């Protein structure tokens, strides 16, 4: 796979699981400036410069693009949650949903690796 280490892309996005869990439980603070756009993260740079062209013959690449954007949008949405919402039932549901979406992206990346 040219210019992309799938393992690093996976680790980077899994790291957000940990950061957001800590954020939801009040162990750290995050702001919008801590989050790059889905175009600006290392994976996004690869995806929009090389990945979509290199793997256009694989339908999964469009699923990856969609899920990657959703993940970044969710991170930003979670960071904007008021503290009282984050600490309540809504916070737990939000983080559970995020973890599921992150797992979906990781599974898609694994599938891309096996198909390429």
Tell the CATH topology of 6-115.
1.20.120
Burial 104-115 (b: 16+ CB within 10 A, else e): ebbebbeebeee
- Give ∠ CA 47-11-18 in degrees, rounded to 5: 120
Determine contact, residues 20/97, Cβ cutoff 8 Å.
no
Rounded to 5 degrees, what angle do the CA atoms 109, 111, 114 make?
110
Gap between the Cα atoms of 9 and 6, Å rounded: 5
Q: Quote helix, strand, coil % in the chain, to nearest 5.
A: 75, 0, 25
Which of helix, strand or coil describes residue 3?
A: coil
Helix H or strand E segment including 46:
helix 42-46
pLDDT in tens, 4-50: 677 888 888 888 889 998 998 889 899 999 999 999 998 898 899 98
Q: Please choose, from the candidates 38, 32, 13, 18, the residue with its C-alpha nearest in 3D space to the C-alpha of residue 79.
A: 32
What is the reported pLDDT for 55?
92
Domain assignments of the chain as residue spans, ordered by start: 6-115
pLDDT tens per residue, range 39-96? 999 889 889 998 999 999 999 999 999 999 999 999 999 999 998 888 888 888 999 9
């Amino acid at each position: 796979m040219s210019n992309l280490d799938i393992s690093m892309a996976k680790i980077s996005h899994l790291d957000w699981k940990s950061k957001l869990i800590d954020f939801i439980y009040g162990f750290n603070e995050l702001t919008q400036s801590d989050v790059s756009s889905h175009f600006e993260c290392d994976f996004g740079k690869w995806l929009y410069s090389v990945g979509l062209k290199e793997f256009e013959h694989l339908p999964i690449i469009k699923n990856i693009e969609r899920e990657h954007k959703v993940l970044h949008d969710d991170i930003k949405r979670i960071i904007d949650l008021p503290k009282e919402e984050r600490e309540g039932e809504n916070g737990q549901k939000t983080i559970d949903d995020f973890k599921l979406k992150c797992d979906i992206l990781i599974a898609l990346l694994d599938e891309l690796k096996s198909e390429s």
